[in-house]
Chains A and B, each alone.
Chain A
């Protein structure tokens, strides 16, 4: 009986890992901009999941739980860094060619600009546009007030528009 339970848990864990590894890794990578660190922390997140598997009630619950843990690990790791942010605004080079919408160059510029945001707005933007969460869900995941989330997103979007306009990128 114990063996069967253990086997079922292992199977469930593997399925959960397959389903959610992209989400966990991407939250960490987009937030930290360090692929190796993101991979290591993503592994840590799944080790935590394995340890707490008995408390997980469903796949959806696992996704919610993993997202929360990934967010917390990302913020903790960022705070431990000596340098913050890792990518400064000065490092976001002016493109030699103006990027157009849908251009990988623009995508890269956006990711780098987001990396310059302070922790709270950065994570709010990642959860909004990577995870497609609404502000209430973001507030719940980050454990901050709804108003703060809305403010983070609005100000971040305004900042991005300003920076992009300065680089000659806008709506076509």
Chain B
């Protein structure tokens, strides 16, 4: 090996990625939604017997927990980038997103985002109805801090709907995409309770739906150049439970007004 080759060996010596690489990979693994499609397919399979019920219950639980993690990751990333320096208001943890699906009847607004799926490098499309949530609640462990919080939260929830996209580059989604969702939230039953904007790049909006003085739904619109998340949490939502999710699933601790 001559001098040039020795220099090349030094110049091209291996280098480590930035600190925290392993954690970032593991976080992406947790957020990967592909298995949900498989789980959903399994859930609709015809089955009977205790083993099937057990299996179905665990799958339902895993779907709910995965939904929380995906949404938690979404808000956590924005919270760290946008809001960490000032206390978030009551709800940004509302965390649960919505999609156009076979259970559209249960959603409180349409997402109209299916055209983005082909552009996305990763996407999550979650639709959990009351039956699935009920099954999941029975399998959530009250002794596990995270699961206990979720169990309390989903007691009054009738549906969790999530649509989450990640893109390789910015510009894949447009303001019109969010406007089509936002226009459906202009009715008197909806009120925006959180609106956070960081420059032109990162936004969080949390909308609350009330009927007869009770919270009956939450909508979340969260965006940044390479990510877009829309959520609908349907039902008699316990705001206190939502707030208590802070500190779990990677969500920041929240301060109430």
Q: Does B38 interact with chain A (Cβ within 8 Å)? A: no
B15 touches A102 (CB 8 A): no
Q: Given A21-B22, A101-B3, A172-B3, are A129 and B9 also a contact pair (CB < 8 Å)? A: yes
Q: Does B12 interact with chain A (Cβ within 8 Å)? A: yes
Output the least CB separation between B17 and chain A (Å): 4
A102 touches B21 (CB 8 A): no
Query: Could you say which residues of chain A place their CB within 8 Å of the CB of B15?
Result: 22, 25-26, 29
Query: Could you say which residues of chain A place their CB within 8 Å of the CB of B13?
Result: 26, 130
SS class, residues of chain B in contact with chain A: helix
Q: Given A130-B14, A172-B3, are A46 and B9 also a contact pair (CB < 8 Å)? A: no
Select the residue from B3, B16, B21 with max chain A CB neighbours within 10 A.
Answer: B21
A171 touches B11 (CB 8 A): no
A50 touches B29 (CB 8 A): yes
Binds B, one of A84-92, A107-115, A135-143: A107-115
CB closest chain-B residue, reference A153: B5
Query: Could you say which residues of chain B place their CB within 8 Å of the CB of A171?
Result: 2-4
B7 touches A106 (CB 8 A): yes
Q: Does A66 interact with chain B (Cβ within 8 Å)? A: no
State the CA gap A125–B4 with chains docked (Å).
12
Contact of B25 among A47, A106, A108, A128 (CB under 8 A): A47
Output the least CB separation between B221 and chain A (Å): 25
Q: Which of B2-41 contact A (CB under 8 A)?
A: 2-18, 21-22, 24-26, 28-29, 32
CB closest chain-A residue, reference B34: A51
Q: Mark B131-163, 1 if CB is under 8 A from A, else 0.
A: 000000000000000000000000000000000
Interface size on B, residues (CB 8 A): 25
A43 touches B10 (CB 8 A): no
A130 touches B12 (CB 8 A): yes
Contact of B24 among A43, A110, A129, A161 (CB under 8 A): A43
Q: Given A47-B32, A172-B3, are A110 and B16 also a contact pair (CB < 8 Å)? A: no
Contact of A161 among B4, B10, B12 (CB under 8 A): B4
For the A-B complex, the count of residue pairs with Cβ-Cβ distances under 8 Å equals: 85
Output the least CB separation between B20 and chain A (Å): 10
Output the least CB separation between A23 and chain B (Å): 6
Query: Could you say which residues of chain B place their CB within 8 Å of the CB of A164?
Result: 4
Query: Could you say which residues of chain B place their CB within 8 Å of the CB of A50?
Result: 29
Output the least CB separation between B165 and chain A (Å): 16
Query: Could you say which residues of chain A place their CB within 8 Å of the CB of B4?
Result: 157, 160-161, 164, 171
Query: Could you say which residues of chain B place their CB within 8 Å of the CB of A108?
Result: 11
Q: Does A119 interact with chain B (Cβ within 8 Å)? A: no
A129 touches B5 (CB 8 A): yes
A21 touches B10 (CB 8 A): no
Query: Could you say which residues of chain B place their CB within 8 Å of the CB of A160?
Result: 4, 8
State the CA gap A108–B12 with chains docked (Å).
9
A107 touches B10 (CB 8 A): yes
State the CA gap A26–B25 with chains docked (Å).
16
Q: Could you list some 9 contacts between A and B, CB below 8 A?
A: A21-B22, A22-B14, A26-B14, A26-B15, A30-B12, A39-B21, A43-B28, A114-B12, A129-B11
List residues of B whose CB falls within 8 A of some A CB: 2-18, 21-22, 24-26, 28-29, 32
Instruction: Identify 13 new A-B residue pairs, CB closer than 8 A, beyond the known A114-B12, A126-B12.
Output: A17-B21, A18-B22, A22-B17, A25-B15, A25-B17, A38-B17, A42-B17, A46-B25, A102-B7, A106-B7, A129-B11, A130-B12, A171-B4
- In the A-B complex, the 9 residue pairs with the closest CB atoms: A107-B11, A130-B12, A129-B8, A110-B11, A25-B17, A26-B14, A22-B14, A129-B12, A171-B3
